[in-house]
Amino acid sequence: MTEKAKILIIDDEEVVLDSCLQILKGGAYQIRTAANGSLGLQVVEDFQPDLVFVDLKMPGISGFEVLEKIQDIDSTIVVVVITGFATVSSAVDAMKKGAYDFLPKPFTPDEFRLITRRGIERRRLMREAIALRREKELLREQFASIVSHELKAPLSAVQQNLFALEFELQKSMNEGQREKFERIKTRIGDLLKLINSWLRVILVDVNKLKEGFKPVSIAEPIHTAIENLAPLAARKDIQIEFSAESLPAVQGDALSLSEVFVNIIGNSIKYSPSGSVIRVAARKEADRVMISVKDEGIGISAEELPHVFDGFYRGKSGQQAAAGHGIGLAVARQIVEAHDGAVSVESAPGKGSTFFVSLPVSSVSIP
């Protein structure tokens, strides 16, 4: 803050106002006073103080009310309540309602100066934190829009024209030409998927998901995921089996949970040989729902095992490591952890892998 910090003192006792002004005189502050709550609130609106001292006991509207109204106006304004003797409990109440601190009457000049400095510092930090958060948000949005507009849109247009060209030529193409088309389409498609994954990581704040949590029957997102992956599984002649007993609901977001299973089962498909089976099972274990995804794939070595959920990490178990971007499992972990759940994996090279997702049972049942 380059300009002088602004302080407002609201108290019905003139002697308190006077002594406060006296104490802070010569400091780098702009100070206003108000003799009651309503006047004080008016000053808050025009003056936009950094720090407000407010007496809890005043005629007219109470200090508590003033505190609440100030927070409605701007919750970053730091409020310190002034309390008389033996009203520690009301000071505690005020702090519960958002006051930063309290100042018991009578106070010494040093006490007052100290609490003023701390209050101003608090306000500075709050504003800094908000500015930083905004900046981060802006960067995230800008980056996402660059990725989507400058990379994704042109690539989509390329792919769309390739689709059109192939469609027009489909009857006159020979096998070799068809193969080349397939190769180009696959590589561009992979690139688009990669951009989508990046965008997901950049744009979606998994912790915000929590705001929309509802009781979800876990079988539902698993079914959605398996349906989504059916074409991919069919291409590799892989069978996905799903068995679930009747299960209690979990608290969560059905769409992101289905993304978890798309990523985990999709990963299993990627590393499974043709003709193999992937077994998905869900069961209740104490107060958790445990979902397992077991494949007959190439497996994961002991040294790779701890890193599979790390992001940008891709299995490299020699044999034809399939194309992927190593981000799906990391996204799955993030989502599961936002659900207060956990992911884990058991595997050995050549023995296949089993991925586990455990989610806490919802205390609320499905309406």
Partner 1 sequence: MTKKLLMIDDDPDFVAGIKAILDSGGFEVDVAYNPKDGLRALEAKQYDLLLLDIMMGRGAEGIMIARKLRKHPKLREMPVLIMTGMREQIAFLFPGEPVHPRFVEVDELVEKPVEPQVLLDKVNALIQTAAAKRRAK
In the shown chain, the binding pattern of residues 184 to 213 toward partner 1, with x for contact by CB under 8 A and - for none, equals --------x---x--xx--xx---------
Nearer to partner 1, 132 or 165 (CB): 165
Instruction: Pull the structure tokens for residue 144.
Output: 């996402």
Q: Site residues for partner 1, window 168-187 (CB under 8 A)?
A: 168
- Select from 39, 73, 138, 164 the one that contacts partner 1 (CB under 8 A): 164
Give the binding range for partner 1 (CB under 8 A) out of 64-72, 148-156, 270-278, 345-353.
148-156
Nearer to partner 1, 28 or 169 (CB): 169
Question: 63: which strand partners?
Answer: none
SS3 of 259, please?
A: helix
Q: Pick from 47, 44, 87: which is nearest to 66 by CA?
A: 44
Quickly list H helices, the chain. Answer: 14-24, 37-47, 63-73, 88-96, 109-146, 153-169, 175-203, 206-209, 219-235, 254-270, 328-338
In the shown chain, the binding pattern of residues 241 to 280 toward partner 1, with x for contact by CB under 8 A and - for none, equals --------------xx-xx--x------------------
Q: Measured from the CB of residue 204, what is the shortest distance to partner 1 in angstroms?
A: 7
Q: Measured from the CB of residue 209, what is the shortest distance to partner 1 in angstroms?
A: 10
| Count of helix runs (H) and strand runs (E) in the chain | 11, 12
19 binds partner 1 (CB under 8 A): no
Give the integer Cα–Cα distance in Å for 131 and 253.
30
Question: 293: which strand partners?
Answer: 280, 355
163 binds partner 1 (CB under 8 A): yes
For residues 139 and 70, the answer to whether their CB atoms sit within 8 Å is: no
Q: Which residues would be at the binding site for partner 1 (CB under 8 A)?
A: 144, 148, 152-154, 156-168, 192, 196, 199-200, 203-204, 228, 231, 255-256, 258-259, 262
